[in-house]
């Protein structure tokens, strides 16, 4: 799956189909009836896959498909090249081809979305044409042609807000081009030429070639690229009897662009500049070493520039003033696959596979915005995990040391400081007090960050081999899951020890009190008892609709990330979660985390989305102020005194300490004060033996509890 993620969706489908394999994502992504959960905000941006332009004598507007959105950009190149963002579009799913016609923008997002872009700063969605997995589409005048997994269809878009079906036939292709009276479909088994003179009765007239990557047609000449790194040229004056006239080897072409103002040059996204003045002998005359994986291209010869949709580097501008020596000028809007997310002080820190770290401002969840990045585009190993606190962030990148600390006081300019020499890149990281707990392939590591600029590896033990780990830490125990669930004693950070293993696989895990919640890899949310952490005991389960990735716990709710969205469960009875809500997401979330009152998701190539519960039965009480609404205790590992605070509206009626058996311990010294409706105070545990204790602060309406670890000695 890692290698497949380096391909746009249509390439993934082609790769799997060629090997006779089903698409695991599409197979399990049946539509979800949204209920009880609501998307409040999105930052939809991931890898770039397609680009189109609208050029006028005075302006050039660029439309860039990236992630599950489209960015609308003004391109300027008079004194210096500039790419000015005008607006962003959030699409329903991962985006492929985008095509602009006059003041309308069409976008492939599973179906075809149509936007009115007459006002570039405020695009308006007019319609979403729902079809089963549209691989590609093409718009000519008032006709929309689509190719899906099982059919080719023709629609009238004379009224873009209300497409009207005209005709169909049983042909399919992953890429498409329409020219004149014929449509050309590229498939791994060939290039199909369809007669579309009568839109009500499209039909195939000929087949040629195989493993087609891209198609372009001008007059009677058909150009197409193949997976064998070749460009083929055919004469299609009679589409029923096409014949080859030329070819060129060594050309990787996921797209082909023939500028309408130039008859002698063809461009590929890599950037190959090919002279086609003699179609029987096409020859490469120039090449620019674009930085990454390039899938779409448009050129503006009048401005001496080509614009490439680069998978990780975003929109890449290439100077083509000299066709024999093109060169990369600049790039913008780069983003990768969002693998992990961590929320701290109104900011979301996002781990992006081959692109390092992105920092988003999420103080206003309705409008997340990019603050800055530390870009590792194209470098390995990938970034899969991230944590942050205050002015420092920690994530894995490059060769040893695999774990680095970054100063993020100025989010627009993160600064790399020190590193901890762990064994492998982190698969998941948890931050507790001054320690990082790191899950990686075959190792579990503990890193001290008391001096954030100089993280130090302090403890390590062998663990299970695997990838896509889930990790959580509670009190003196770490819970690690991948191929199995392992419980690790971390009471002594210098000597973590595996004390229990349970035969259940998964990629996410959450723990509250003695309950362990595991989204089992297939279709179940399992609940285990950790009363005896050396031997977890299955207590109950709740069915899910499809495969799972992660789970996050709110006060009374568990939200599970699945292949096709989120499912929410009430935890009023923690042993028997009750299904309450679900919502489709643009792509199945890899990671979900809770920071009151929202659930934040990292959705692979689809970016980041923010959700809230709306059902009365599962809604969480939002924060009434900037003060905490639950019980907060610090430090949670102590040899003596601890402080506590409960947010506004939770005036304490009783403060008590219990041992792990549930016995109330009377006579523990405490000081309690109320300020502005909030309760805070101090508890002295120095007279107690070492161990785990529960602090309960009870208000008139509610009871709050938290655990604290008392070490031996005052």
Mean pLDDT of the region 480-487: 95
> DSSP state, 387?
E
The β-bridge partners of 136 are: 147
Q: What tokens were used for 424?
A: 């492998």
d(CA 438, CA 224): 48
Residue 13 phi, psi (nearest 5): -65, -45
Mean pLDDT of the region 77-83: 74
Predicted pLDDT of residue 18:
67
Instruction: Write the pLDDT tens digit of every residue in 126-175.
Output: 999 987 678 999 999 999 999 988 899 999 999 999 999 999 999 999 99
Residue pair 388/360 in contact by the 8 Å Cβ criterion: no
Predicted pLDDT of residue 676:
59
**pLDDT greater than 50 at residue 622:** no
Residue pair 582/568 in contact by the 8 Å Cβ criterion: yes
The β-bridge partners of 105 are: 100, 115
Tell me which residue of 481, 476, 436, 484 sits closest to 460, measured CA to CA.
436
d(CA 178, CA 216): 8
Residue 280 phi, psi (nearest 5): -75, -15
Mean pLDDT of the region 640-669: 75
Mean pLDDT of the region 306-325: 92
| Long-range contacts, stretch 358-366, CB < 8 angstroms, 24+ apart | 359/393, 359/408, 359/411, 359/414, 360/43, 360/608, 361/411, 362/41, 362/600, 362/610, 364/41, 365/40, 365/41, 365/598, 365/610, 366/40, 366/41
Average pLDDT, rounded, for the chain: 88
Q: What is the DSSP string of 554-581?
A: -SSEEEEEETTEEEEEE-SSTTS-EEEE
**pLDDT greater than 80 at residue 454:** yes
**pLDDT greater than 70 at residue 25:** no
Instruction: Write the pLDDT tens digit of every residue in 683-694.
Output: 988 888 877 788
Predicted pLDDT of residue 200:
97
Sketch out the chain's domains with CATH numbers: 335-467 (2.130.10.10), 504-615 (2.130.10.10), 631-710 (2.60.40.10)
pLDDT band (50, 70, 90) for residue 621: very low
d(CA 707, CA 529): 17
d(CA 629, CA 623): 6
d(CA 191, CA 222): 11
Mean pLDDT of the region 455-466: 93
**How many C-beta atoms lie closer than 10 Å to residue 684's C-beta?**
16
Chain centroid to Cα 172, Å, comes to 29
pTM of the model: 0.83
The β-bridge partners of 340 are: 351
Predicted pLDDT of residue 705:
77
Predicted pLDDT of residue 318:
93
Tell me which residue of 370, 353, 295, 285 sits closest to 320, measured CA to CA.
285
Count of positions (residues) in the chain: 714
**pLDDT greater than 50 at residue 624:** no
Q: What is the DSSP string of 448-471?
A: E-SSTTS-EEEEEEE----SS-EE
Mean pLDDT of the region 76-92: 85
Cα–Cα distance list, 17 to 23, 211, 532 (Å)? 8, 12, 47
Q: Which residues of 18-47 are buried (b: 16+ CB within 10 A; e: fewer)?
A: eeeeebebbebbeebeeebbebbbbbbbbb
């Amino acid at each position: 799956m890692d290698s497949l993620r380096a391909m746009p969706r249509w390439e993934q489908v082609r790769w799997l189909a060629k090997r006779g394999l089903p698409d695991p994502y599409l197979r399990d992504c049946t539509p979800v009836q949204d209920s009880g959960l609501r998307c409040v905000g999105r930052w939809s941006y991931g890898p770039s896959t397609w680009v189109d332009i609208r050029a006028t004598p005075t302006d050039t507007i660029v439309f860039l498909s990236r992630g599950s959105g489209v960015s609308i950009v003004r391109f300027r190149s008079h004194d210096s090249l500039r790419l000015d963002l005008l607006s962003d579009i959030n699409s329903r799913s991962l985006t492929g081809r985008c095509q602009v016609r006059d003041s309308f923008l069409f976008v492939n997002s599973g179906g075809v979305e149509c936007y009115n872009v007459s006002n570039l700063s405020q695009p308006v969605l007019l319609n979403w044409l729902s079809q089963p997995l549209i691989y590609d589409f093409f718009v000519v005048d008032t006709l929309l042609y689509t190719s899906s997994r099982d059919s080719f269809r023709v629609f009238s878009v004379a009224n873009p807000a209300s497409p009207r079906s005209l005709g169909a036939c049983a042909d399919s292709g992953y890429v498409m081009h329409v020219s004149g009276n014929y449509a050309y479909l590229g498939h791994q088994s060939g290039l199909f030429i369809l007669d579309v003179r009568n839109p009500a009765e499209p039909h195939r007239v000929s087949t040629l070639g195989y493993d087609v990557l891209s198609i372009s047609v001008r007059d009677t000449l058909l150009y197409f690229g193949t997976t064998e790194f070749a460009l083929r040229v055919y004469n299609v004056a009679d589409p029923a009897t096409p014949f080859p006239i030329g070819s060129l080897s060594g050309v990787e072409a996921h797209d082909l662009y023939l500028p309408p103002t130039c008859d002698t040059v063809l461009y590929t996204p890599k950037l190959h500049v090919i002279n086609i003045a003699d179609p029987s002998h096409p020859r490469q005359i120039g090449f620019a070493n674009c930085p990454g994986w390039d899938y779409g291209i448009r050129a503006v010869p009048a401005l001496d520039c080509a614009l490439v949709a680069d998978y990780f580097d975003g929109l890449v501008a290439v100077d083509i003033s000299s066709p024999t020596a093109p060169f990369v000028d600049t790039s913008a809007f780069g983003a990768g696959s969002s693998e992990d997310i961590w929320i701290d002080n109104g900011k979301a820190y996002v781990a992006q596979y081959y692109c390092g770290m992105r920092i988003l401002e999420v103080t206003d969840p309705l409008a997340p915005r990019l603050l800055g990045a530390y870009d590792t585009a194209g470098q390995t190993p990938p970034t899969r995990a991230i944590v942050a606190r205050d002015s420092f962030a920690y994530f894995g990148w490059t060769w040893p040391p695999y774990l680095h600390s970054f100063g993020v006081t100025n989010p627009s300019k993160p600064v790399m400081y020190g590193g901890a020499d762990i064994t492998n890149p982190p698969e998941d990281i948890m931050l507790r007090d001054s320690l990082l707990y790191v899950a990686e392939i075959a190792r579990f590591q503990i890193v001290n960050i008391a001096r954030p600029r100089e993280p130090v590896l302090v403890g390590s033990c062998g663990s299970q081999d695997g990838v896509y780990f889930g990790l959580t830490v509670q009190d003196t125990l770490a819970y690690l899951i991948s191929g199995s669930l392992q419980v690790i004693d971390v009471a002594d950070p210098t000597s973590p020890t595996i004390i229990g293993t349970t035969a259940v696989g998964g990629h996410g895990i959450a723990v509250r009190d003695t309950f362990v919640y595991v989204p089992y890899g297939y279709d179940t949310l399992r609940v285990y008892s950790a009363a005896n952490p050396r031997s977890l005991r299955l207590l109950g389960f709740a069915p899910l609709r499809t495969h799972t990735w992660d789970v996050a716990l709110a006060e009374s709710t568990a939200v599970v990330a699945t292949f096709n969205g989120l499912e929410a469960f009430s935890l009023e009875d923690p042993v028997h979660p009750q299904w309450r809500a679900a919502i489709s997401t643009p792509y199945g979330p890899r990671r979900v985390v809770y920071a009151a009152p929202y659930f934040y998701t990292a959705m692979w190539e689809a970016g980041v989305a923010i959700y809230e519960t709306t059902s009365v039965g599962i809604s969480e009480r939002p924060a009434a102020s900037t003060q905490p609404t639950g019980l907060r205790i610090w430090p949670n590992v102590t040899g003596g005194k601890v402080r506590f605070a409960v947010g506004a509206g939770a005036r304490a009626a009783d403060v008590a300490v219990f041992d792990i058996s549930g016995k109330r311990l009377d006579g523990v010294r405490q000081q309690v004060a109320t300020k502005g409706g909030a309760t805070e105070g101090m508890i002295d545990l120095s007279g107690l033996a070492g161990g785990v204790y529960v602090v309960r602060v009870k208000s008139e309406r509610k009871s709050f509890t938290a655990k604290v670890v008392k070490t031996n000695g005052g």
